[in-house]
Amino acid sequence: MSMAIRLPAEWEPQDGVLLAWPHGATDWADQLPEVRRVYADLITAISRFEKVLLTTPDPDEARSWLLQAGVPTERVIFAAAPTNDTWTRDCGPVTVQVNQQPVLLDFGFNGWGLKFAADQDNQLTRRLKAQGLLIPRLNTIGLILEGGSIESDGAGTILTTSGCLLSPNRNPQLDRHELEGALQSLLGARRVHWLEHGQLAGDDTDAHIDTLARLCPDNTLLYTVCDDPGDEHYQPLNRMAAELQGLRDQTGRPYRLLPLPLPAPCLNHAGHRLPATYANFLVINGAVLVPTYGQPTDNGALAMIGLAFPGREVIGIDCLPLIEQHGSLHCITMQLPAGVLP
């Protein structure tokens, strides 16, 4: 009997969100107070709508810090597990539905193409399953695949970038056709949209799709634009926009395209540009959490995302500290669909 496999859209019902607590052995060691404040705001917002599964080497320390910061922890599940870092989008479980039942896929994670240590992060999903914190059956997959590299509409369409999936340091033994076959067999993809253009300066992921363009309900795409001809992103993002205009959904219709502004350049202490993007938002039950950067473009981005998700509360989270390590809000979260948590 053939199996019906489907990768749910992010806006479908969730049990909670997986986070990894910043601690002294992560790259956040020099800015723990600032980045933990972001986590406090994020946990407070998520907890209004669903649970938080928070993995940390020291649950007592994390709970104490959050309580002292005034964060409600009634809906926080603390899990003891070591981590290299905090990017659960890329090392956490990808949940598919197989014959309408959730199944966890534990893809390999190799630090975005062998750029960073990932030995602990690559074991995170299996450790959470072993502790009884994840209900569904777990399948460990030999393929290297990060959650931030794929977008799903829940109806068989996958949006991704060739720059990431075809990176020679991820799955060099597979070509585009073979990778597309893997997405079909593992995620139930019936059509794969590959973007050839678009990448943000300072992005370590080789152009994760969740920094550039996002699938939304009702045949809608939110995507990052650059209107300044003098900006280094102007030409690649305009080429990406042209690609998006040429895409068609499963019925043959063009997508409704909603542009997200590119924030003005955010630089680190060495003067290098950081990958600030509003496309790195997180959809949860009843709300959309959007990274903000203290810029005039923040309000316009919040409004545009509200157009794509009518009926959901749009909540801005100051993510300036996060981009210091070249990621943002979606990168540190992984949604756990209905049926995943006990």
Of 91, 164, 216, 331, the active-site residue reads 331
Spatial separation of the C-alpha atoms in residues 79 and 268, rounded to whole Å: 32
Contact predicate 179/120, CB 8 Å:
no
Spatial separation of the C-alpha atoms in residues 297 and 276, rounded to whole Å: 11
SS3 state at 227:
coil
**Backbone angles phi and psi of 88, in degrees to 5:** -70, -20
Pairing state of beta strands 191-195 and 157-161? Answer: parallel
Amino acid at the residue 217? P
**DSSP code string of 122-176:** GGHHHHHHHTT---SEEEEEEEE--GGG-EE-SSSEEEEEHHHHT-TTT-TT--H
Cβ neighbour number for residue 99 with a 10 Å cutoff: 11
User: Please, what sign has the CA dihedral across residues 214, 146, 23, 14?
Assistant: positive
The upper half-sphere exposure of residue 242, i.e. CA atoms within 13 Å in the direction of its Cβ, equals 8
Amino acid at the residue 112? W
Spatial separation of the C-alpha atoms in residues 169 and 179, rounded to whole Å: 14
Spatial separation of the C-alpha atoms in residues 275 and 328, rounded to whole Å: 8
Tokens 């959007």 sit on residue: 290
Q: Which residues pair with 137 in a beta bridge?
A: 103
In which element (H, E) is residue 260 found?
Answer: strand 256-261
Q: Let me know if 331 is a catalytic residue.
A: yes
Spatial separation of the C-alpha atoms in residues 247 and 213, rounded to whole Å: 12
User: Catalytic amino acids?
Assistant: 331
